[in-house]
Structure 1
Amino acid sequence: MSTVFLATCDHVLPTLTRLHLLCLLDTHEWRRPLFLCRSTGSTQDQLKRHLNALRGGGYITTRRGRERVGLVRLTPLGARQREAYLATLAALPSWATEQITRARGDRPDWFVTTGAMNP
């Protein structure tokens, strides 16, 4: 597998909703699921599926607070994975540009200008 995509090869974060959830969470403060539902536009059932996947991957921890209200917090692993994933995504456009530039020099036949294509 390409080293460029190793950090994005993450089966716990296949959707933007899960990444959004990780961005809404913190390691030092608990969040209520209602806040997470409203912020992501998820139903409670959808949120439950996402939180189960994130908890199963060790990215979040959950507990019951006062009056049995559910609470969610990011784990240190979740924080590290979030940062690595976001850094990889941020770097992806420049990596792709470098790959295109290098390939154009090495294998110009891999690229066809739109005007040169047969209709």
Structure 2
Amino acid sequence: MHSDTVQQLIIGAIVLVSALHVLRRLLPKWMHARQQWLAALLDRPQRPAALRALGRWLRPGEQAGGGCGSGCNTCSTCESNPEADGKTDKAETDIKPLKFHRHVRADR
């Protein structure tokens, strides 16, 4: 009976962490606001020192503006990646565009 409870707690923790990861990737602004709210709730003067420390630890950092050219590059779709500026990979320089040719059959 005890091992069943431990197993359920471990599975629940894994599901919770996975759900938070998915929410952070799909809804970053919403998660940032929730994290900021929770940090402010925990970091109040009347709270115990341990909760205040947890609130300071949970406080989110400054966010980049978002969008292409902002430097966040979380989605890896922006052409202006500041980390790759000045760095050229050999695979990137060997890229050649596809050329399509119309095939004409001689029997027509």
| TM-score (ref. length: structure 2) | 0.29
Q: Flag the structure with higher strand content.
A: 1
Max radius of gyration: which structure?
A: 2
Give the number of the structure with larger relative contact order, counting CA–CA contacts within 8 Å between residues 6 or more apart.
1
